[in-house]
Structures are given as C-alpha cells and as structure tokens.
C-alpha cells in the first residue's frame, strides 16, 4: 500500500536539486562529528552484553539527505534509510551513491515509509539501533515510540536528537542580544505566513504538535519505563529557545509539557561552541530559507528586507562573521 501524504508535516520539500540540499547542509550543524557519534555508540555498546551475533541492522528514520545513514554505515552491517517524502529518498540515494564505495552503498536500503510505521515492514525485535535525527517534533510521538519499541530487539538502542533555533553567541565587539532580537522578529514574520495562512484542522494540529514539542525541549516525548531502561536526556544550552519562531507567529495556544519519568537521567550542559558555526548575515538569511521548504521570494516583504538590513548593520556589516550557538537535546533509551 502506498503511504499517504503527511499533510501535517511542514517540512516536506519536493525538490531534488542538489543545490538546495547542499545549501541546507551548509547552514545546519554538522552532527557527523566523530565525538558525537562516539558517545552514541559508547552508550549502545554498553548495553549489548551477550546479545546474539546475527547482522546488526540500524534504521535511520526520517533520513532526509541521509547524512546520518552515511555515518551509521560505518558501524552496522545493514542500514535502512526511510522517509515519507519521495524526493528526500531520491536525494539520499544520489548523495550516498556519490559519497560511499559500492560495497558500503549496497548495504543500505531505502524505503518510503512513515517513521511511525517502520514496524509494519520489518520483523519485530529485528533492529539493533534506531536513529531519529531532527524529526521528532514532526511525528506522532506516541505512535513513533511504540513502533520503534516493536522494531528494536531487547538491548537495542533508540537515539533521538534535535537542534533548534540558532542563537548569536555573546562576544566583544557587538551586541549579541540586539542581533538575536532582530533575528527573532524576522523569524516570526517569516513563519507566520506559513503557520496562519494554512487551512484545515490538520494544518494547525501539525504546527501545534511541533511547537509544543520544541517549547518543551522534547520533554513531552514520553519514554515508557515498562518498555525502556537507562533513559538519558542530554540537554545542551537548554537556556536558549528551541522553537524556530515565537508565540507571535502562532494562532494556537502553546503548551509546555514534561513526561520525564523519575527513573530517567537528565544532564544539562552549557557549551556555546557545541556544533557552532561562524556566519555572516547571508548565512542567517540562508538558514531561514532552508528552514522553510515552501519559501517563495515574494514572502520577503519590504519590512522584512529592512529587518535583514538592520541585522547586517547590527552585526557589524554584511561581511562580519558572528558565532552561532545551538540548543540541542539528545534522548537515549534501551529496549527492555
């Protein structure tokens, strides 16, 4: 059965242009860094014990341009890269075919499938590792977690991570707070067109689901202690806003919710340099456009153009580079 289109997911680009995806990755954090994955894999290996030695299968759900699948292919015997969007899968296959050797590429399969339904096409208890990178707020949380619990074998690892709104890192020579305030105003002005101009209850429900999850710093993602053990939440720069836009862009009530259980471990780390980048105002502008796949040039009104010009001036000019910090949350859990 062909998967239905997800009308509640605001991040669904239909372009297969390599230029778009190159720009997308340029202004996104580089979480292919060895240190980050080393921590994930260390956690995973610590729970393997005497598990059976059959081929270890890892799933990259919501694969997008497949940068996660590429890293997982170095550590697992077989990789399943799935996404509900056909153009995402086309890009993923093209990028991996160009970047991986033939033997490694042959161990990766691609499936058009909702993240909440991966258990429907694979045997229960068949996966060793599931990665859900930068997609959790877009999903039906309860259905997704239950699907992954069914798919993972006992001792298998679930790794969820998400980064949110970029923030100017304070430094001498400019006013980071003033820059951030201007950028936040731009973000609200850009996102409001997509949030409030949509029609139907499904549209609003999708935006509210994502917004509540982001404002909650993914604390509303419940990990049932009867199914999972050693649940760890790593929160980096949690004092920063996670949502890509503010309440002014929304036409619904935002709810901050926590479903963290007492058995879980929560670690807060303040590290302004984590996944950091150095951006000009054009990089900030590009991030905004890449964050809205349905962006149209006519979305840029004269008022928004003026705000970008003000931001450039506040940053110290169009060529000035200012450091970017990110709020990041990682959730790790082991299937019982």
**Average confidence score pLDDT of the chain:** 91
**Inside any domain, residue 95:** yes
Q: Is the pLDDT of residue 78 over 60?
A: yes
**Inside any domain, residue 228:** yes
**Inside any domain, residue 138:** yes
Question: Where does 275-334 have alpha helices with state H?
Answer: 281-290, 302-315
**What is the total count of domains within the chain?**
1
Per-residue pLDDT band for 53 (boundaries 50, 70, 90) equals low
Per-residue pLDDT band for 55 (boundaries 50, 70, 90) equals confident
Contacts for 201 with CB less than 8 Å, ≥ 6 apart: none
pLDDT for 333: 98
Q: Is the pLDDT of residue 100 over 80?
A: yes
Q: What is the CATH number for 169? A: 3.40.50.150
CB atoms within 10 A of CB 294: 13
What is the CA 244 to chain-centroid distance, rounded?
12
pLDDT for 5: 46
pLDDT for 165: 97
**Inside any domain, residue 281:** yes
pLDDT tens for 189-224 read 999 988 987 777 888 999 999 999 999 999 999 999
Transcribe 136-182 into DSSP letters: GGGS-HHHHHHHHHHHEEEEEEEEEEEE---EEPP-TTS-HHHHHHH
pLDDT for 194: 86
pLDDT for 21: 84
Contacts for 309 with CB less than 8 Å, ≥ 6 apart: none
Give the domain extent around 51.
18-335
**Inside any domain, residue 8:** no
**Inside any domain, residue 107:** yes
- Residue 192: CA count within 13 A, CB half-sphere: 15
pLDDT tens for 233-288 read 999 999 999 999 999 999 999 999 999 999 999 999 999 999 999 999 999 999 99
pLDDT tens for 107-119 read 999 999 999 999 9
**Inside any domain, residue 2:** no
pLDDT for 15: 53
* Region 224-232 average pLDDT: 98
pLDDT for 144: 98
DSSP 116: G
Q: Is the pLDDT of residue 296 over 80?
A: no
pLDDT tens for 137-155 read 999 999 999 999 999 999 9
**What is the distance between the terminal CA atoms of the chain, rounded to a whole angstrom?**
31
Least confident of 5-9, 47-51, 149-153, 207-211: 5-9
């Amino acid at each position: 059965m062909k998967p239905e289109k997800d009308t509640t997911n605001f991040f669904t680009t239909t372009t297969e242009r390599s230029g778009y995806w190159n720009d997308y990755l340029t202004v996104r954090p580089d979480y292919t860094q060895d240190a980050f994955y080393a921590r994930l894999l260390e956690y995973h290996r610590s729970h393997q014990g005497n598990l059976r030695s059959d081929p270890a299968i890892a799933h990259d759900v919501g694969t997008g341009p497949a940068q996660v699948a590429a890293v997982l292919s170095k550590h697992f015997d077989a990789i399943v890269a799935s996404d509900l969007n056909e153009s995402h899968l086309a890009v993923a296959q093209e990028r991996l075919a160009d970047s991986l050797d033939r033997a490694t590429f042959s161990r990766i399969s691609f499936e058009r499938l909702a993240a909440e339904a991966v258990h429907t096409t694979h045997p229960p208890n068949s996966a060793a590792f599931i990665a859900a990178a930068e997609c959790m707020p877009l999903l039906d949380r309860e259905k997704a977690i239950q699907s992954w619990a069914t798919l993972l074998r006992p001792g298998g690892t679930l790794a969820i991570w998400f980064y949110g709104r970029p923030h100017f890192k304070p430094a001498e020579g400019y006013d980071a707070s003033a820059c951030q305030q201007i950028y936040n105003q731009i973000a609200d002005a850009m996102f409001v067109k997509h949030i409030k101009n949509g029609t139907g209850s499904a549209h609003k429900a999708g935006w509210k689901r994502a917004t509540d999850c982001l404002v909650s710093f993914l604390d509303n993602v419940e990990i049932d202690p009867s199914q999972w053990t050693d649940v760890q939440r790593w929160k980096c720069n949690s004092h920063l806003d996670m949502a890509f836009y503010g309440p002014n862009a929304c036409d619904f009530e935002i709810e901050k919710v926590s479903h963290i259980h007492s058995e879980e471990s929560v670690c807060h780390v303040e590290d302004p340099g984590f996944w950091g980048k150095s951006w000009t105002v054009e990089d900030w502008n590009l991030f905004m456009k890449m964050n809205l796949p349905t962006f149209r040039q006519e979305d840029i009104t004269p008022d928004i153009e003026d705000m970008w010009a003000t931001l450039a001036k506040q940053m110290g000019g169009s060529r000035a580079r200012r450091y970017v910090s990110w709020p990041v949350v990682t959730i790790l859990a082991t299937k019982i």
